[in-house]
Amino acid sequence: MYDPLHDLSPGQNTPYPDSYWANISGSAPTSNGELQSDIDADVVIIGAGFTGLSCAYHLAKAHGIHAVVLEANQTAWGCSGRNAGFVLKSSGRKPFSAMAKDWGEEVMRGIYQEMSAGAETVNALIAEGIDCDRQAPGYLKVAHKPSKLQELVDLAEIQAKQFGYQVEVLTKEQVRQQFMDDQNAYGAIRYHDGFGLNPLKLAWGYQSLAQKAGAMVYTGSPVIDWQQQGTRHTLKTPKATVTASKVVLATNGYTPKGFHAAVNNRFLPVLSQIIVTEPLTEEQLAACNWQTNNVVMDTRALKYYYRKLPDNRILFGGRGAITGKGAEDPYYANRLLSVLKQSFPALHALRYDYAWAGWICMSLDDIPHIYHDEKQQVFYSMGYCGAGLAFSAQGGKRLAERVAEKKVPDLPIFNKPLPTFPFAPLRRVGQWGYFQYGKVKDNYF
Q: What's the pLDDT tens digit per position in 138-188?
A: 999 999 999 999 999 999 998 898 898 889 999 999 999 999 999 999 999
Instruction: Give the closest residue to 379 by CA, choosing from 397, 362, 412, 402.
Output: 402
Within a domain: 177: yes
**Domains held by the chain: number:** 1
Q: What is the pLDDT of residues 291-327, one digit of tens each?
A: 999 999 999 999 999 999 999 999 999 999 999 999 9
Report H helices in 214-246.
Answer: none
Note the pLDDT of residue 166. 85
Query: Cα–Cα distance between 422 and 325 in angstroms, integer?
Result: 24
Q: What is the pLDDT of residues 117-137, one digit of tens each?
A: 999 999 999 999 999 999 999
Residues with Cβ within 8 Å of residue 261, at least 6 apart in sequence:
373
Within a domain: 427: no
Note the pLDDT of residue 442. 83
Domain interval for residue 169:
134-195+269-362
Note the pLDDT of residue 444. 74
Which residues in the chain show pLDDT less than 50?
none
Within a domain: 106: no
Note the pLDDT of residue 440. 87
In one letter, which amino acid is 139? Y
Residues with Cβ within 8 Å of residue 405, at least 6 apart in sequence:
376
Note the pLDDT of residue 441. 85
Note the pLDDT of residue 112. 95
Within a domain: 351: yes
Percentage of residues of the chain with pLDDT beyond 70: 100
Within a domain: 309: yes
Within a domain: 409: no
CB crowding 266-287: b at 16 or more within 10 Å, else e:
bbbbbbbbbbbbbebeeebbee
> What CATH number corresponds to the domain at position 176?
3.30.9.10
Instruction: Name the pTM for this structure.
Output: 0.97
When the pLDDT of each residue in the chain is averaged and rounded to a whole number, the result is: 96
Within a domain: 315: yes
Within a domain: 278: yes
